[in-house]
Chain A
Amino acid sequence: MSDNIIQTANLWKTYRDRAAVRELDLHIKKGDIYGFLGPNGAGKTTTIRMLLGLIKPTKGVIRVFDKDIRKDRMDILRRVGSLVEYPSYYGHLNAVENLEALRRILNVPKSRIAEVLSIVDLTRDAKRSVKGYSLGMKQRLGIASALLGQPELLILDEPTNGLDPAGIQEIRELIKRMPLEHGITVLVSSHLLSEVEQMASRVGIIREGKMVLQDTIANLHSQTGSSIRLTVSEPEEAMKLAREQGQFGQRQGSELTFPYMDNSAIALLVRRLVEQDHAIYRVEEHRQSLEDLFMRVIGEGAMV
Chain B
Amino acid sequence: MTGRALSSDWLKIRGKGIWFLVFLAPIGLTLMQALNFGLRLDYLKGIYGDNLWNGLLENVIVFVPLALMLGATILSSMIANVEHEQGSWKQLLAMPIPRPAVYLAKFLLACILLVISCLLLTAGIVILGLVFGFNAGEIPWIQAFKLGLLPLAGALPVLSIELWLTMVTKNQALPVTLGIVLAITGMFSLSISPSFPLAWAQMAWNGPNPFMYAGMGLAAGILIMLLGMMHFGRKDVA
Instruction: Determine, out of B20-28, B84-92, B111-119, B214-222, the stretch whose residues face the partner at the interface.
Output: B84-92
- Total interface residues in chain A, CB < 8 Å: 33
Judge if B137 is at the interface, Cβ distance under 8 Å: no
Residues of chain A having any CB pair with chain B under 8 Å:
49, 52-56, 74-75, 77-78, 80, 82-93, 97, 100-102, 104-107, 145, 149
| CB-contact partner of A101 in B11, B93, B98, under 8 A | B11
| CB-contact partner of A105 in B14, B15, B86, B95, under 8 A | B95
Cα separation A56 to B94 with both chains bound (whole Å): 13
Cα separation A106 to B234 with both chains bound (whole Å): 22
Instruction: Determine, out of B1-9, B31-39, B123-131, B178-186, the stretch whose residues face the partner at the interface.
Output: B1-9
Cα separation A52 to B82 with both chains bound (whole Å): 22
Excluding A85-B87, A101-B12, 19 further A-B contacts by CB distance (< 8 Å) are A49-B90, A49-B236, A54-B90, A55-B236, A74-B98, A77-B95, A78-B96, A84-B94, A87-B86, A88-B90, A90-B85, A92-B16, A97-B14, A101-B8, A102-B91, A104-B7, A105-B95, A106-B95, A145-B91
- Is A89 a contact of B86 with CB atoms below 8 Å? yes
- Is B237 a contact of A55 with CB atoms below 8 Å? yes
Judge if B97 is at the interface, Cβ distance under 8 Å: yes
- Is A97 a contact of B11 with CB atoms below 8 Å? yes
Query: Can you list 25 A-B contacts with CB-CB less than 8 angstroms, sorted by A residue number?
Result: A49-B90, A49-B236, A49-B237, A52-B94, A56-B234, A74-B96, A74-B98, A77-B95, A80-B94, A84-B91, A88-B89, A89-B86, A89-B88, A91-B85, A93-B11, A93-B14, A97-B11, A97-B14, A100-B11, A104-B7, A104-B11, A105-B95, A105-B97, A106-B96, A149-B96
Closest to B6 in A: A104
Contacts A97-B11, A104-B7, A107-B4 given; does A90 touch B96 at CB 8 Å: no
Cα separation A86 to B91 with both chains bound (whole Å): 10
The total of Cβ contacts below 8 Å across the A-B interface reads 83
Cα separation A101 to B86 with both chains bound (whole Å): 15
In the complex, which residues of chain B have a beta carbon less than 8 angstroms from the beta carbon of A104?
A: 4, 7-8, 11
The 4 closest A-B pairs by CB, nearest first: A88-B91, A55-B236, A78-B96, A77-B96
In the complex, which residues of chain B have a beta carbon less than 8 angstroms from the beta carbon of A100?
A: 11
In the complex, which residues of chain A have a beta carbon less than 8 angstroms from the beta carbon of B12?
A: 90, 93, 101
Cα separation A88 to B82 with both chains bound (whole Å): 11
B192 to chain A, nearest CB (A): 41
- Is A102 a contact of B95 with CB atoms below 8 Å? yes
A295 to chain B, nearest CB (A): 30
Cα separation A297 to B89 with both chains bound (whole Å): 35
In the complex, which residues of chain B have a beta carbon less than 8 angstroms from the beta carbon of A92?
A: 14-16
In the complex, which residues of chain B have a beta carbon less than 8 angstroms from the beta carbon of A49?
A: 90, 236-237
Cα separation A77 to B88 with both chains bound (whole Å): 16
A4 to chain B, nearest CB (A): 20
In the complex, which residues of chain B have a beta carbon less than 8 angstroms from the beta carbon of A78?
A: 96
In the complex, which residues of chain A have a beta carbon less than 8 angstroms from the beta carbon of B82?
A: 90
Contacts A52-B94, A56-B236, A92-B15 given; does A105 touch B5 at CB 8 Å: yes
Contacts A89-B88, A91-B86, A102-B8 given; does A82 touch B94 at CB 8 Å: yes
Cα separation A56 to B88 with both chains bound (whole Å): 19
In the complex, which residues of chain A have a beta carbon less than 8 angstroms from the beta carbon of B96?
A: 74-75, 77-78, 105-106, 149
B168 to chain A, nearest CB (A): 14
- Is B88 a contact of A90 with CB atoms below 8 Å? yes
A202 to chain B, nearest CB (A): 23
A49 to chain B, nearest CB (A): 7
In the complex, which residues of chain A have a beta carbon less than 8 angstroms from the beta carbon of B95?
A: 77, 102, 105-106, 149
Cα separation A54 to B93 with both chains bound (whole Å): 7
A261 to chain B, nearest CB (A): 52
- Is A88 a contact of B88 with CB atoms below 8 Å? yes
